[in-house]
Amino acid sequence: MRVGIIGYGLAGRVFHGRLLAHTEAAEVVAVTTRDPERQAAAERDFPGLTCFRTVGEMLATARLDLAVVATVPSAHPDNAIECLSAGVATVVDKPLAVDAGAAAGIVAAAGDTPLTVFQNRRWDADQLTLRRLLSHDRLGHVLRYESRLERWRPLVDPARWRDINGPAEGGGVLLDLGSHLVDQALTLFGPVRSVYGEVATRRGGQPPELSVASGDDDAFVALEHADGTRSHLWCSSVAATAGPRLRVLGSAAGYVVDEVDGQEDSLRAGAPAGEAAPKVGWLVRGAERESVDPERGRWDSFYSTVGSALRDGGPMPVDPMDAVRALEVIDAARRSARNTEIVRLG
């Protein structure tokens, strides 16, 4: 599987590049970036690859089986549609676009060309363990699902584009972390009837011209699913103390995981994602508490599944329409926050 990566920042290099480097049936042969330092990094990471300055040059020259779009979200539609129009199977980093309308446009442009979205946190250890508990009916009917991705970054960092760019460019935590949280909730509990959102920009920073971030940095989203489950989702850069990663309350028991999955840290350190030790969770019934053997996180399964799909004609790991539906929820959360209202869907 000859792969070209478009964009070689954090997403392109650390997430996609390192996962592909550990995927047996994949070879990164091309990278598109105009940044000389990133070109040099790509050549060190993948000796023998070719760096291009434009997507068109890469598509015309590199004979790709797969293109990976890892640019800023506002550029995803143009980059993805260019690849799909050339008949090249495409992975787009999450979020698929900055809003549901632009995301739907990418899906429409794909036609019969394979397209998928990198919703890698579906394969977090805590999510896989929770799915096992649900399949074995260990929790009963889930009444409330609480999920958090919270950080403590109290000052705006001008080097982080998500801090200084607004949602129209793909900045802010709601598109960044919220894309994961909403996707996980929809994957677990299905369609949503109503959405309530609180979305705010709270930070100051240095230098003075960046005294207020353009990207939202604190968000809460409440979902009512069609099956009656309620999801409460938090994402923040201003959480001085984080809540539990997951707290799932069922009619028969609860499930709690305190720490965030370690696969991102593993990749940042240059190790395979699968080497991250899964965090232990707890099955709780009032005063009773027992540890739950965790599943191993499987971010490393994403590209092997893509390879199987291209080779054998099976399904891609994520249906891109799932990403459109998640963005519909995020769009509704912004509307709810703006108008202080509950937004009905469906």
Per-residue pLDDT at 164:
83
Domains (range + CATH), the chain: 2-118+302-315 (3.40.50.720), 122-298 (3.30.360.10)
The pLDDT, as a whole number, for residue 346 is 76
DSSP character at residue 137? T
The whole-number pLDDT of residue 203 equals 85
Q: What is the pLDDT of residue 210?
A: 45
pLDDT per residue as tens digits for the range 311-324: 999 999 999 999 99
pLDDT of residue 183: 98
Which of 288, 220, 209 lies closest to 254, judged by CA? 288
* C-alpha–C-alpha distance, residues 317 and 115, integer Å: 10
pLDDT at 205: 52
Residue 20 and residue 6: Cα distance in Å, rounded?
Answer: 14
Residue 74 in contact with residue 170, Cβ under 8 Å?
yes
Listed in sequence order, the residues at least 6 apart from 139 whose beta carbon sits closer than 8 Å to its beta carbon are: 133, 248, 250, 251, 252, 253, 254, 255
Nearest to 126 by CA among 303, 267, 318, 255: 255
pTM: predicted TM-score of the whole model, two decimal places: 0.95
Give the single-character DSSP code of 273: G
Instruction: Give me the pLDDT at residue 15, please.
Output: 97
What angle (nearest 5°) sits at the alpha carbon of residue 163, between those of residues 162 and 165? 65
| CA 138 vs CA 142, 198, 226, 281, 288: distances in Å | 10, 32, 21, 13, 14
Output b/e per residue, 59-81; b: 16+ Cβ within 10 A.
beebebbbbbbbbbbbbbbebbb
User: Which residue ranges in the chain fall short of pLDDT 70?
Assistant: 204-213
